[in-house]
Every structure is written in structure tokens, then in C-alpha cells.
Amino acid sequence: MKLVHEKTAEVINIGDKVTTFRGEKGTLMSVQEPRHSGSTGRVGVKLKGTKYLSLFYPSVIDAKWSE
């Protein structure tokens, strides 16, 4: 599975710059694919100006999983 931007369908890779729906900028640091059909998986983002990794649902960065 690939993580893609919902509006542009471009593949999002680890290390890419992303923006949350709140306008926070950061870098994609990790991805966790969904483990079953009821899961959305998670993305790990290092937000600008923070020391720690934040885990979000992919929709927070306008992303979704694609085959």
C-alpha cells in the first residue's frame, strides 16, 4: 500500500514535507499501514518547532491509503 495525497493523488514518502488540516507544517517520519479493514493506520509527523514525533490518522495530513 502507498500513502497518497487525497486531492492530488501524489505519493507521499517518508521525509516529505506535510501540512496538517490545522496549518501546522512538519516532516513525515513514519507510516503504519492499517492492520485490518476497520483500521486507518497512522502517520508519524515531526512538527516544525517540536522535539517529538506526533502520531496522526492519515486524514489529518489529507492523505489516504492506495493499492
Distance CA 17, CA 27 (A): 5
Along the 67 residues of the chain, how does pLDDT read in single tens digits? 899 999 999 999 999 999 999 999 999 999 999 999 888 999 999 999 999 999 999 999 999 999 8
Domain encompassing residue 37: 2-66
Closest residue by Cα to residue 31 from 49, 23, 60: 60
Number of separate domains in the chain:
1
Give the DSSP per-residue string, the chain.
-EEEETTT--B--TT-EEE-TT--EEEEEEEE--SSTT---EEEEEETT-SSEEEE-GGGGTEEEE-
